[in-house]
Structure 1
């Protein structure tokens, strides 16, 4: 029986194998977060309209799109939400274990642009000193800003 299964598997090679694997294995959304700092060491924080009341402030975050690198997700989300250009660098956190989500966090370099919010998802945006963070900041994001990466990254 094992030989038959192995022969069938080899016979269907390529895209069909990938489709079968996708059907039988867990499928996850990937939440990607960027820790963006400016030349003065301030961190970019956003007040998110759709996040839980009292915990609306956080780092730029969003979900990866199909066929998009996680570094590109950071750049796209920051650009869409703030109009700023960034480049993801060092991977800070890769965490699984959530029901249907994997969390990925990168440090990102601020390249330029004019800060403006998208008006729908983001209510406010600003640069904050790590010593003077706003009330209502996600605790996991506070820990990421401090360099403590033991907690989940997004709500």
Structure 2
């Protein structure tokens, strides 16, 4: 039986193998977060409209679209939510295990743009010193913010 399965697998080749793998494995959403810092070391925090009351402050976050490289997700999400241009740097967080979601976070540096929030998703955007953060911040974002360097 093993020989038959191996023969069948080798016969399929290429795109058909990928389809079989896609059908046989779990599908994941990838949430991507940007730890955006300015040249003074302040971090960009957003007050998210859709997040739970009392925990609405957090880093720019969104989901990757199919085929998108995760650093580009950071760039796109920050631009959509704030109008700011950023460049993603070092990968600082990668975690799976929450249902069918993978979480990814990158350091990011402000490189330009004008702050103009997307009022559908974002209530407010402000720069904060890592030592002086607002009440109601997502606890999972605190360790990301406390990192002091951009690579």
Give me the whole-angstrom Cα distance separating, in 1, the residues matched to 2:116 and 2:133: 20
Alignment of 1:23-34 (within 5 A): 23-34=23-34
Distance 2:142 2:115 in 1: 21
* Structure 1, 35-44 or 14-23: larger mean CA deviation: 14-23
How far apart are the structure 1 equivalents of 2:37 and 2:73? 17
Matched, 1:134 2:134: yes
Secondary structure, counterpart of 1:65 in structure 2: coil
Measured against aligned partners, the alpha-carbon deviations of 1:81-107 in whole angstroms (never above 9, x if no partner) come to 000011111000111111110110100
SS at match of 1:96: strand
TM-score (norm 1): 0.93
CA deviation digits over 1:34-61, x for unaligned, max 9? 0000001100000000001100000000
Q: TM-score, structure 2 length as denominator?
A: 0.95
RMSD of aligned residue pairs (Cα, Å): 1.1
Distance in 2 between residues matched to 1:111 and 1:56, nearest whole Å: 25
Alignment length, in residue pairs? Answer: 148
**Helix, strand or coil at the partner of 1:131:** coil
Which residue of structure 2 lines up, in the alignment, with residue 108 of structure 1? 108
Q: After the TM superposition, which segments of 4 or more aligned residues of structure 1 sit over 3 Å from their partners?
A: none
Question: Which residues of structure 1 form unaligned runs of 5+?
Answer: 149-155
1:56 matched to which residue of 2? 56
Distance (whole Å) between structure 2 residues aligned to residue 68 and residue 97 of structure 1: 21
Task: Give me the whole-angstrom Cα distance separating, in 1, the residues matched to 2:96 and 2:106.
Answer: 15
Relative to total residues, which structure has the larger strand share, 1 or 2? 2
